[in-house]
Structure formats: C-alpha cells, structure tokens
A and B are shown apart, each in its own frame.
Chain A
Amino acid sequence: MTAIWFIFALMTGLAVLALLWPMSRRPALAAAVPEGEARIATETGFYRDQLREIDRDAARGLLAEPEAEAARAEAARRLLRASREPGRPAGAFGEPALRRRRAASAFALSTVPLVALLIYGLYGSPDLPAQPQAERLAHARAAGNDLAAAVTQIEAHLAKAPEDGRGWTVLAPVYLRLGRVEDAIKAYENSLRILGDDPGRLADYGEALVAAGDGVVSSKARDAFERALKQDSKAVKPQFYLARAAEQDGNRGEARTRYAAMAAAAPPEAPWLPMVRDSLARLDGTAPAAAPATGPAIGEEQRGMIRGMVEGLAQRLAEKGGTPEEWARLVRSFMVLGERPKAEAALAQARTALGGDAGRLAPVEEVARETGLGEAAGAKAAP
C-alpha cells in the first residue's frame, strides 16, 4: 500500500500549486482590473451603473421623468460621497510586497502538508483497503471461511422471506456460536412462532435466554423449559436448567429432588452425569460451592463467554454505576458462577454505590438473602 502515499503526495502538491499559482502571475497583470470588474466592483462604479439604470428605466417609461430626476439626484449624491473617500494605497508593488509574497508562499508550502498529514496521521488507516460487500463475500468463500458468508446469505434470504421457519432454525445455533446471543434469541422466537413448539428447539431457545441473562434462568427461560418438558418429559437440558432455576431461587429442596431424579434415570455413560452429581454434592454441602456455569450442552467456549459478560457487567457497574436490578444480577451471576468472594465484593460495592437507600437496595439484599450471602457479608457491613 505504498501507492497510497504517492497519491497523497500528488494531491498535496496539486493543492499547494493551486495556492501559489496566483502569486506566480506578474503583479502588473493581476493588478489590472478587467473592464467588467471596474464597473461593478467599486462603489463609485456601482453608483455609475445605478445612474445608467435610471436612464434606461426612464427611457422605457417605467419611471416618470420627475421621479427619474429625483432618483438621479439621489444616486449622484451617493456617487459624489463615494468618490470623495480616499482610495486605499496599492500594496501590489515593491520590496514589501515581494517579501510578503515569499512569506505567504512559505506559509502555504509548510502549513498545507503539515496540517493535512498531521490530521490524517492521527485518524487515518492507510493500510486498510476498501472492502465492498461483494468482494468480501467472494473472499470469504475463497478462503473457505464460509460460515460468515453463509450467515449473510441466509440473512439475505430471510429478509426476503421472513416466514421461512427452517432458515431461522438453521441460523439460530450459528448465531449462538458466533456470540450474537440477542440475534439467536430472535431467530429461535421466529422459528418457534412459524414452525410451532418442538422440545429440542424450545430447550435451545431457553439456553440462549440463559446465556443472555449471564447464566441466570429467567422466568421466560423457565417457561420455555417447562413447555419443552411437557412435550418430552425425558429431555435432559430442560430438566437440568429447571433444577438450576430452583437452586438459583433458593429452593434447595426442589433442586435436590430434580438433580436426584436426573442422576437416578441417567445411563451410566451419560457425559453430563458428573455435572449433575457435582450439583447434588454442592447442595448437600459435601463439596465446595463451585457450580459450573452452564448446562451439559454448553462447551468451555460458551462458559468463557458468559464469564466475560459478567466481568464486563462488573467493570461497567464499578465504573459508571447502574440500577439496583443490575447490581442484583451481578451478585447473582457471581454466585451462579461459583465465585463467592467476587459476589461478596460486588455486594459490598452495591451497598456503597446505592448509598444505604433501603428502598433501592432491596433487590440486591433480596438476592443476597436468597443465595445465602446476606448473613455473612451483611454482618460485616452492618454498623
């Protein structure tokens, strides 16, 4: 991309030349005012033209002779006044003019490239080529990176035929994989609306909602899991998330029953069995509270993503503050991720940030109570 610098240099050179061009002309030539300019461009010329106009109007009968006379008198008065004013000294010739022009040339030669390069250097990206849509699609296909290209194509297709449920079904999990959680939720919603309920898609939809909620099983997600379970009572994902929901609500008894039922019904080689056993152990207090972030079907990548979201929320709240609900969500998320120390820190931060206003603190305290965090941390913070 060195060519671009040649183009820049050329443009700058042309701009400076354009500025210097009038100064290169001989002063005598430039000082001689053309005929038309002499007429209008000075005040006396203006009034002379006005006088001529009055004569023309009078000749055409637009102006009665006595009035034309009055107008002539008026214009002539102004012409007289204008011509009495001293003219300006002409500064076009001589040594000072030459020096002035040299200074001006130096100014143009230095300022123009300096300012342009400084500003462009600060904000430009000279190494980045243009990437028109068509070219980018071709590139993506050639490089075998068709996932993004495929997404764009499906999106284009769906924009034309938004009632194609299969398209949305294909797109939704891809969105989730790309980290576009909100888009995934919308795609699942469209797919469910058009193709009707299906236990697998309902469970995936719930999972996307959980991902959007930083690991919290919202009532909307719970509703989706319950609907899935109604159609397929053996589905694993809904069972697991409903147990998780009960656990998050502080309903330990129900959570334990659900985990236990899953563990009992599971085939011994089920990959998700250890996770359920861990959860059980955590509930019974026989293991440290290290809950895995999400359910069996979510990989390490997803977990990292959720953790990233929570950390992002924590940072934003710490820097800019937020609503009581956001603080409550942060505390809950840390507990769900099994990060008790961070949850405690967040709780303390929330109490400071919300400034001891009992009304505003209520949702945070509620979560603290539910997660069993309130007593210990509260005792420390209480006066």
Chain B
Amino acid sequence: MDLNAYRKVALVLIEVGHYALALALALSLTQMVMPVWASRAGDPVLRGVAVPAALATFACIAFAFAALTYAHVTSDFSVQNVVENSHSMKPLIYKISGVWGNHEGSMMLWVLILALFGAVVALARNAVPPTLRANTLGVQAAITAVFLLFILTTSNPFARLNPAPMEGRDLNPLLQDPGLAIHPPLLYLGYVGFSITFAFAIAALIEGRIDAAWARAVRPWTLAAWCFLTVGIAMGSYWAYYELGWGGWWFWDPVENASLMPWLAGTALVHSTVVMEKRDALKVWTVLLAILTFSLSLLGTFLVRSGVLTSVHTFATDPARGTFILGILVLFIGGSLALYAWRAPTLRQGGLFAPISREGALVMNNLFLSAACATVLVGTLYPLALESLTGEKISVGPPFFNLTFLPLAVPLLLVVPFGQTLSWKRGDLAAASQRLFVGFALALAVTLIAIAVTWGGPVGAPLGIGLGAYLILGAALEIVTRAKGKTLSLSLRRAAGLPRSAWGTALAHAGVGVTVIGIAAQAWSVESLATLPRGGELRAGPYVAVLEGVLPRTGPNYTETVAHLTIREGGDPVGVLQPGKRFYASRNMSVSEAGLLTVGASQVYASVGETGADGSVGIRLYYKPLVLLIWLGAVVMALGGGLSLTDRRFRVGAPALKPAARDAAGPVPPHSVPAE
C-alpha cells in the first residue's frame, strides 16, 4: 500500500474502530439469542451460528482496541480519552499501557478478554459437548453485550474533541510504571476467566443437567483463570510494595479485597470441580460456587469502577456509571441466583463418600475458603454500608482481618497435606497421619531452629515458618510416597510417570508453603526513619545505609531528586540504592520511587521523604527478610496450576480398598490412584 492510501485509511481508523465496537454489540446480541434458541429447539445447524458470532465479536473488539491503541500511540488529541490520559512526551511503553490505565480503556480490556475467552470456547470443539457449548456461548455473549452497552453509553473511549487541544493531560504518574503493563491484563484474565465458568454454570442450569463431562469441560477454564488471577494479585501486591513507598505488601484495602474474594472462591471452585469430575459429587455446590466466584468478580468491578471507593484504581467517578454497573450486578447476580434456586433442585445429586476421605478433606477446604471469603466480604462491605446508612465513616483495617482471616486460614493449611494423602471415597486417617509423620517431625525441627536462632523475637513468626515448611514437606512427601519403589531408578521412573496433575497439585501446595514462609518472616522486618545529612548513616537490621548525596535527574516527562545510598553490611559495601522522588509537571504531582536491593530472597528497601534546604533528606529504610518468597510462592502456585492444566487425562476417583484387600494388591502402594 502506498503512503497516500495508508494515510487515508489511518484518517478513518478511529471512527472505524468505534463502529466495530457498535457492530460487536450487535453481534453479541445475536450470539446471545440464537444458540440458546437453537438448543431449546434441538437444531444443530442454528446452534452453529454461535461459533462465527463469537469469532466475529472478538475480531471487532480486537480491532476497536487496536484503533484505540493507535490513537494513544500517535497522540491523537482529537480523542478525549487520549487527551485525558496521555501526553506527547510520554515514553512509548506508557503510551501503550496507558490505553488500559484509565476507566474507558480498562473496560475495553475487560470486554476484549471476555470476547477472547468466548472465541476460544467457540474454537474448542472437542473439549465441550455441543449443547453445553452453545448455551455457554449464549450466556457469555449476554455478559459481553451488557458490558459493551455500558462502554458505549457511559464510558465511550472513542468520544471525540473538535478542535483538538494541543497537548494531553498525561497519565497519573503512579501508573507510569511497567507494573501497569502487566498487572491489569493478568488480573482481568483472571476475573474475566471466571465469566466462562459462570457461563458454563448458567448453561448447565438452563439445560437442567450437569455431570462429570461438565466438570471436565469447566476445569481447564477455572484453572487458567485461577492461575492468571493468582499471578495478577501477586503482581499488584508487588507493585504496591515498591511504588507506594510504604514497604507494605498487603493493606487489606477494599480494592485489594475485591480481587482476593474471587480468588478465595475460585480456589474453592478449582478443588470442588476435581471432586465433581472424579466422583460425580458436589454438583449443586460447584454450580453455586461458579456463580458466586464470578459474582464476586463483578462486585469487585463495581466497587472499583463505580467510584464507591476512591483509590488509584478508580480513575474517575461518575454516578451514571455506578448506577449502570449496579444494574449489571443486580441483573447477573440476582438473575443467576434466581435461576439457581429454580433449577438446582432438578439437578441429579452425585456419588456418596465417607467424611474421612479425599472428598471430605476437599469439602473442608471449600468450607474454610468460603468462610474466609465471607469474612473478607463483611470486612469490605460493612464500612461502606454503614457509611451510606448513617454517614459514619469507620475503617476496618488489618486488625479485623488478622483476627478473623488467620484463624480460618491456619486450620485450612494444616489440613492441606492430609487431603492430598487421603484416598477417595473412604480414607484412613491413621494411615495418612503415619505417612505424614516425617513431615510433621521435620517441620517441628524447622520451627525449633527458627525459635532458637531468633530468640526474643516475635512469637508467631517461627510457627509460621514451621507451617510453611510443613506444607512444602507435605507436598514433597506425597510425591515421594507415590513414587517410592524398590530401587532408586525405579522410584525415579515412577515419579516421572506420575500424572502431571499430581505434580501440579504438589507444586501448587508447596507454593502456598513458600508464600506462608515469606509472610511469616515479615514479622522480623525492621523499619527505621531519619533525616540524614550528607554522609549520615541509618541502620535497619544487619544493614547500614550511608547517604552519599542527593542529585537531580531528568526523565522524559519528569524531574527527579535521587538520593544515593551505599548499603553496607558489617562494614563491607553490598550495593547501592537510589530511591527518588519524581515530579511530573504536566500533572503537578510527585511520586516516590523506592530503591530496592535484593540479597537472596530478602530485600533492603529505601524511600525518600522531604528534602531539606541544607542537602539533608528524610530517608525511610526497611530490611525485609525473605520478602520475595511471598510473590515467588504465588508464581509457584500458578505454575502448579498450569502444570495441572496440561494434564487432559480422563479422571475417575477409585476408592482405596479395604485393609483386607490391600495385601493382595501387590507391590503398588494402595493410594496410588490416578489422583491429584
């Protein structure tokens, strides 16, 4: 294409993108109606319409998203969204990530991912029974249509300005960070991924049947969404940790809770679908969990997007948007729960199992996770409800969550290794304890060592370290026991032959242990604060920071005051920290940039406060032992989930045999059912 033709196309690109978005709405309305109608009539040809509809919807939304990105990259200030969130001097990466660093753009990302999942389900011909697939696509299209309508009517990213202003207002400096490029897409892949599970649940209710095939079809979506959400939350936590300059990694902030709630419910769902697929049990409960998980995602969206909460995530408040999202919330949550109440009794209940069994342990997992989720929900919504009713402002902070969440989380974690060890249908608690004995003993030893080494420190921390060690050892023991053979080479062969889902489970549970250790170790973190003159020293834990000087620095769209700190340990320099304070003239806003020095899994963290006229500067120095384990554990969890995802074998949970029969079972360990 020659340059002139290219220019002509580029001229209309934004409006074509806008039209593509409107067309996507029309297509998703069709996709909402046709497959459900076809399924009721039992017409496979008409049902087939769902596939091209889902693909075309995705293509249209992807095109619109690309057009918006083009407007941002070329600094087209005739687009209001670009004016409000971009600046011609902004680095390219932030021009791109700025597309979703604002309300309209983030909703575009939301529907893009929604449509992406729809398209993938449409293409997954062999993984899903056809009627279920058609109904699922119909429900998914309903969600897409409503959100597209929301975007087009209240948050249009393609609103134009004529005449165009010469310069934009730049992106919120807090968001000008690589974290913005990664955190929201991952989080949305998680949030929106649960929409597919939700659509499957509603489709099952519409169809009035649910079986192991359903669970098999749902499992990969749930797992994938869960993995993305896990990494997305961890990424957000790490971003807050280094960007906000307070050294905290979790603040029990309502916006954080909004992402934690679907994660807790989603974790329960991942486990209950296993029970359903293998044992054909817990059907009605699983459907409810699938509905609740996505409802909590929607609730999170409502809290963040409606302006009920003010935070860096809120971007802009507009009552019309809040009302619209509240309407969406009522429609989907109310509608799905009503459908559930109506249709759930018609679903056939599944297999039976003894209380002491793998299923029993997973039910316990579900109970504890749901209770923890309910706790967070109360802690998040209660202050909001109170404020709207009485006008009184209270803040429910970490003390509440520590007192309510921890007592639920700790017993849950204690049960995890047991659950892995018990067999399906009927388990043997004594035998399981026996197998876990080594793990117990080693974890106890770790705890005692931790107490001895840190004598006089916080009481809870060594216990937490012990709990983490117990989780990791429990996961490792599970693999070892199942693989143990007469010789080492046989054991290794058997370990390699174990199903990937078994490895995935062990890895994910070990990841939980890693995170627990990281969290527990934070009890030993040290914070110190001082105004340092040049050459001044500040100590935090084993490290001493020496202020070498304060220098100005110029970035592409900001100026920065940088403090140069040399970090010493026992007199030897171990590294340099350069925390700074950036000033963005276009927004008249200052943002602190923390300086981080990583030593093993621990970090030394410094942030800059006020600068004095005499060259002195306020420095906040933290020593954070093993802090990286918190996020590393989350990554390990997600890897475990991913590994399990690749295992597409058909599962059936066979009960272990009664002790009398076990002897006849020969050399193979009796619990080595293909299980996870």
A65 to B22 CA separation, bound complex (whole angstroms): 59
* A264–chain B nearest beta-carbon distance, Å: 44
Please state if B16 and A4 are interface contacts (CB–CB under 8 Å): yes
Contact A116 B26 (CB under 8 A): yes
Residues of A near B167 (CB, < 8 A) are 152, 155
Known: A4-B12, A152-B166. A75 touches B652 (CB 8 A): yes
Task: Indicate if the CB atoms of B12 and A116 lie closer than 8 Å.
Answer: no
Please tell me if the beta carbons of A151 and B166 are within 8 angstroms of each other in the complex.
yes
Contact with B along A16-33 (1 / 0, CB 8 A): 001101110101001101
Q: Kindly specify which of A37-45, A224-232, A242-250, A315-323 makes contact with the partner chain.
A: A37-45
Shortest beta-carbon distance from A231 to chain B in Å: 24
CB of A84 within 8 Å of the partner chain: no
Interface residues as binary, A87-115 with B (CB distance below 8 Å gives 1, 0 otherwise): 01111100011001100100110011111
Count contacts on A: residues with CB < 8 A to the other chain. Answer: 95
Determine the chain A residues whose CB is within 8 A of the CB of B318 once the complex forms: none
Q: Contact at A129–B12, with CB atoms within 8 Å?
A: yes
**B106 at the A/B interface (Cβ < 8 Å)?**
no
Q: How far is the CA of A131 from the CA of B586 in the complex (A)?
A: 21
Which residue in A25, A36, A133 is a CB contact (below 8 Å) of B75?
A133
Contact with A along B2-13 (1 / 0, CB 8 A): 000000101111
Q: Does A142 contact B (CB under 8 A)?
A: no
- Within the complex, the shortest CB–CB distance from A28 to chain B, in Å, comes to 10
| Chain B residues with a Cβ closer than 8 Å to the other chain, count | 95
Does A198 lie at the interface of the complex (its beta carbon under 8 Å from any beta carbon of B)? no
Q: Across the interface, do A133 and B76 meet the contact criterion of CB distance under 8 Å?
A: yes
How many residue pairs link A and B with beta carbons under 8 A? The number is 276
Q: Report if A70-B657 is in contact (Cβ < 8 Å); known contacts: A15-B27, A78-B280, A131-B77.
A: yes
Do B129 and A43 touch (CB < 8 A)? yes
- Please tell me if the beta carbons of A30 and B30 are within 8 angstroms of each other in the complex: no
A124:B16 contact, CB within 8 angstroms: no
Contact at B15–A116, with CB atoms within 8 Å?
no
* Chain A residues within an 8 Å CB radius of B46: 22-23, 100-101, 104
Whether A97 contacts B126 by the Cβ 8 Å rule is: no
List residues of chain B with CB within 8 A of the CB of A62: 497-499, 672, 674
- One of B209-217, B285-293, B354-362, B449-457 contacting the partner: B209-217
Q: Does B542 contact A (CB under 8 A)?
A: no
- Contact between chains at A111 and B673 (CB < 8 Å): no
Tell me if B26 and A90 are in contact (CB < 8 A). Answer: no
Residue B44 CB within 8 A of the other chain:
yes
Contact between A123 and B156, CB atoms less than 8 A apart: yes
A159 within 8 A of B: yes
A134 to chain B: closest CB distance in Å? 7
Q: Which residues of B contact A152 (CB under 8 A)?
A: 88, 166-167
B42:A91 contact, CB within 8 angstroms: yes
- Return chain B residues, CB-CB under 8 Å to A75: 652
B23 beta carbon closer than 8 Å to chain A: yes
What 1/0 mask marks residues of chain B from 561 to 600 whose CB sits below 8 Å from any chain A CB? 0000000000000000000000001101000000000000
Checking A18, A40, A126, A136 against B15 with a beta-carbon cut-off of 8 angstroms, the contacting residue is A126
Contact B33 A107 (CB under 8 A): yes
Cβ-defined partner of A116 (8 Å) among B22, B33, B351: B22
Q: Mark B26-51, 1 if CB is under 8 A from A, else 0.
A: 11011001100110011111101101
Indicate if A130 sits at the interface (CB-CB under 8 A): yes
A92 to chain B: which residues have CB within 8 Å?
42-45
Query: Shortest 6 CB-CB distances between A and B: which pairs?
Result: A71-B654, A22-B48, A132-B74, A133-B75, A91-B42, A115-B26
11 further A-B pairs in the complex, CB-CB below 8 A; given A64-B670, A136-B164: A11-B20, A15-B26, A15-B56, A18-B52, A41-B125, A41-B129, A60-B497, A64-B657, A104-B38, A131-B164, A186-B588
**Could you list 23 A-B pairs, sorted by A, with CB under 8 Å?**
A8-B19, A15-B23, A19-B49, A22-B52, A25-B48, A31-B44, A31-B45, A46-B212, A46-B216, A62-B498, A62-B499, A62-B674, A70-B657, A71-B652, A74-B654, A111-B30, A120-B19, A123-B153, A124-B19, A133-B74, A136-B164, A140-B166, A159-B89
User: Which A residues fall within an 8 A CB radius of B?
Assistant: 1, 3-4, 7-8, 11-12, 14-15, 18-19, 21-23, 25, 27, 30-31, 33, 36-37, 39-43, 46-47, 49-50, 52-54, 57, 60-68, 70-71, 74-75, 78, 82, 88-92, 96-97, 100-101, 104, 107-108, 111-117, 119-120, 123-126, 128-134, 136, 140, 148-149, 151-152, 155-156, 158-162, 186
